[in-house]
Structure formats: structure tokens, C-alpha cells
Amino acid sequence: GTALALAYAEAHPDRVLGFVLRGAWTARAHEADWFRTGVQQFFPDTVDRLAPLPAGVGRDELLARLFQIAADESQPPAAREQAAADYGRYELYACYLEATEEQIAKDLAAGPQLPVALIGGHYWNHGWFLRPNQLWDDLPRIVHLPCALIHGRYDVVTVPATSYELHKAWPGSELHIVERAGHMTSEPPIARVA
């Protein structure tokens, strides 16, 4: 969401009045690598909660393989749905400061997971349709606009360092690092600030 907001604003700065960016993510390679493998440094057991992957698929290849299975129309529908649900489960466990099996199950049951995985994989495989470092290179086009950055202190999906860097590069921006919060907007400490 924040990457899309920034990309749109940088392309059309005259159509934007300001920003409230929660959990900033700017599509840099190290941010994508963090989500692909760094999250597992904090949630190593999450991978164990997923369906077994084919032999020879390493933990660093997990997301790519899940996207591949979900997108493969030659796979049985149940296998595609399972891969999509596993992608969702991987992300959701990292989203909450204190995730529970019940909350994850509720979130996964809220809607079909296959479209989410297909869209996520499509953007991932195409570099989010951005050139490397594009959002940072074009940031000077929008730093005259007001911006509030909100980030959970313990957000391991989109780490707080990105919001901090944006704040330092954006004169006059406001930075709110929210204690006792992860990535989810629905967490009470985030909801109070947002």
C-alpha cells in the first residue's frame, strides 16, 4: 500500500494533498529479501506450520515456490489453494505482535487466498513494476507535501527502519513509532495513532 501511494504521488504530485503512511515499504531489494528470509529469523517455526514443500526446496526459496504452485494451472485446485493459504499463513504470523492460531484461521477464512497470492507473486516477479530504488530516487518530487509515518515498533513484515529513513529524508514529516505493535492496523496501539 505505501509503495503504491508513493509511486502514484511521485507520478502525479499535483493530485496528492498529503500522506498517512503506515508500515512503510519502498520495494528496495533488501526490504524484499527481508520479507523472503529475514522474517524467518523471528518466526522460524512458521515454516513448520505450512504444508511440506517438495524435496530440495530451501527456506530461502519458500515464497517463490508457493507463488509458483499457486499460479500453476496444471496443479490440482486443492494444491493451488493450499500454496496460497500457506503464503497467507507465512505473512499473517509475522503481521501480529502476538499471533494466535485462532486469529490466523479467522483471517484466512475471511476470503479466498488464491487471488492474494497470485497478485503478490505477480508483483514480486515483476519487481513491483518499479525500477530499482525508484521510490527513493523520485522522493524529491513529493517531499513538499505533508506526511505522517506510523510504524509498529515490532513490525517484522515492513521493518521500522524504512519509516525512519523516510522521515529523515522528508523535511517536516511526522514519525510515530508505536510501542507494543506489529504490522496490523487492527492492533489497538496502531489503531489509536492511525
Using CA atoms, how far residue 179 sits from 64, 167, 188, 193, in Å, is 32, 17, 11, 11
Residue 47: band (very low, low, confident or very high) from pLDDT cuts 50, 70, 90: confident
pLDDT for 85 beyond 90: yes
pLDDT of residue 179: 93
Read off the C-alpha cell for 99.
499471533
Average pLDDT over residues 45-55: 78
Residue 193 has pLDDT above 80, yes or no: yes
Beta strands in the chain (DSSP E): 19-22, 147-152, 174-178
pTM of the entire structure? 0.88
Percentage of the chain lying above the pLDDT 70 cut: 99
- Cβ-in-10-Å burial (0-12, 13-18, 19+) of 113 comes to buried
Query: CB neighbours (10 Å) of residue 96?
Result: 20
